[in-house]
Amino acid sequence: MRFAILFAAAAAALAGQPAAASYPCGIYARIDKVEIGPDEAKPEWIKIHGDFILVKTSGRLSEPERGFMSFSLVGGKEDLCRLEWADLKALAKRGAFDRNCVAFGSAHTEREDRLARDGNSPNVHTGGPGADAAPIPYPLNQGLSRLRTSTPEESDREASPNPAVVLKKYLATHPVSQK
């Protein structure tokens, strides 16, 4: 009986809370360019260039940032990494916003403070041409999900912003150089 009362009280308390946004993927990206190497046939690392939104462990979205992210193979899962990397490379088309937005990684992986500026997420590096950064293990969790960017379902509610809409607005105010 005591358990039933506690359970009912907990359920009532939770029912009164507004639903929070749930972002299962940890990285939302608009991809401009993908580099893989050192060997195109059997790459060991990937460098993804574009605009990124990272999901912090608190569940909040970071502000969009333009730059690149570097990843390395995950031991024992090399083939899966390479499959996803081939898909990411295929998405890299300038000027094709509605076809090059993707979500990957997980917002629910273990935090690694050595990988992040703020202790909550991997880095987006913002160096110029030739900039480099040590790659971190590629986040294999959710697979790749293409983001809808040109349909009536787009929503940008204050409580749970659509990352694709946020990236689209960022691109409109921060156009990509056509060099």
pLDDT at 42 (0 to 100): 94
pLDDT at residue 23 is higher than 70: no
Which of 30, 121, 20 lies closest to 67 in space, CA to CA? 30
Task: For residue 43, name the pLDDT band (cuts at 50, 70, 90).
Answer: very high
Could you tell me if 8 and 47 are in contact, meaning their C-beta atoms sit under 8 angstroms apart? no
d(CA 68, CA 38): 17
Could you tell me if 101 and 158 are in contact, meaning their C-beta atoms sit under 8 angstroms apart? no
Which of 100, 91, 104 lies closest to 142 in space, CA to CA? 104
pLDDT tens digit sequence for 87-96? 999 888 766 6
- Which is it for strands 65-72 and 136-137: parallel, antiparallel or unpaired? parallel
Task: For residue 20, name the pLDDT band (cuts at 50, 70, 90).
Answer: very low
In a domain, residue 149? The reply is: yes
Which of 73, 92, 88 lies closest to 145 in space, CA to CA? 88
Interacting residues of 136 by C-beta distance below 8 A, sequence separation 6+:
70, 71, 72, 112, 115, 122
Lowest mean pLDDT among 5-14, 116-125, 130-139: 5-14
Q: How many percent of the chain have pLDDT more than 90? A: 23
Could you tell me if 144 and 26 are in contact, meaning their C-beta atoms sit under 8 angstroms apart? no
Q: How far from the centroid of its chain's Cα atoms is residue 141's Cα?
A: 11
In a domain, residue 1? The reply is: no
- Which is more confidently placed, 35 or 57? 35
Q: How many percent of the chain have pLDDT more than 70? A: 65
In a domain, residue 4? The reply is: no
In a domain, residue 12? The reply is: no
Give CA angle at 36 (68, 88), nearest 5°.
70
| Number of domains into which the chain is organized | 1
In a domain, residue 16? The reply is: no
pLDDT at residue 152 is higher than 50: no
Predicted TM-score (pTM) of this structure: 0.75
Could you tell me if 169 and 163 are in contact, meaning their C-beta atoms sit under 8 angstroms apart? no
In a domain, residue 10? The reply is: no
Domain enclosing residue 43, as ranges? 21-173
In a domain, residue 2? The reply is: no
Residue 14: phi and psi, rounded to 5, are -70, -35
